Amino acid sequence: MGNLHEGHLSLVRMAREHAERVVVSIFVNPTQFAEGEDLESYPRTLERDTRRLKRLNVDLIFVPDVDTIYPFGTDNATSVTVPVLTDELCGSFRPGHFDGVTTVVSRLFGLVQPDVAIFGQKDYQQQLIIRRMVEDLSLPIQIFVGPTIREEDGLAKSSRNQYLSEGDRAIAPALFAAIAGTGDKLRNGNRDFAELEKQAMNELAKSGFEPEYVSIRRAEDMGEPDQGSRELVILASAWLDEARLIDNLVIEL
């Protein structure tokens, strides 16, 4: 959606490894914002984004308007829904959000006709939903996922980090610290998933967050883990004043 940072640019570099030509789309998608969210205030920095992308020698910067993406209007648009995966975690706190994501991504795929598409691991649930959509609709597109890019103190880079006040920015790294600590406990043999989630939620609250969730899931499909699960993902979402932060960590046991 623009306001590019190093996390986005790392995906552009990754795309170059998999394709002869690279297209970057920039579109602030209205259908993935719920009422009261930051659609109007979402940072739009197209001039700066264009300069950064030109330095990476992208072949095309695709900046469609709303009428191009939704020719019949957003209220009358055909929508694409991935069931089950979109109803939990971020989906439960942002109803309809992922329907907006899958709808716009399917339209961008149709307009651009890519062979491969690159998404970031920071939006773990999102990339899993897009993978499911591509497989379910038999789209001839390979999905690759790039690693989360972090600040030196561990905070995942995000366009919404600029909403953080100076004081909140000092607190923000505690989100990744909490899930990293949970990962250490899992590696050390603790399999009480519910208790570990509760402990991490309490840590976040004590740090000054308003946590929405900390959840330990199977990495492959975000299903509930059991004692035999060997690849897990720890996902978390929490608010710091006006900024909603998400993060995750994949671990192998």
- Quote the CA–CA distance of 187 and 253 in Å, as a whole number: 6
CB 153 within 8 A of CB 180: no
- 48-51: long-range contacts, CB 8 A cutoff, minimum separation 24: 48/4, 49/2, 49/3, 49/4
Q: Which of 5, 8, 18, 97 is catalytic?
A: 8
For the chain, percent helix, then strand, then coil, each to nearest 5?
40, 20, 40
Please report, as a single letter, which amino acid is at residue 152.
Answer: E
Let me know if 8 is a catalytic residue: yes
- Quote the CA–CA distance of 148 and 150 in Å, as a whole number: 6
**Which helix H or strand E contains 210, and what residues bound it?**
strand 210-218
Please provide the DSSP assignment of 23-90 as one string: EEE----GGG--TTSSTTTS---HHHHHHHHHHTT-SEEE---HHHH-TT-STT------TTTTSSTH
Q: Do the strands 60-62 and 23-25 form a parallel or antiparallel pair, or are they unpaired?
A: parallel
Give residue for tokens 């038999």. Answer: 138
Catalytic residue IDs? 8
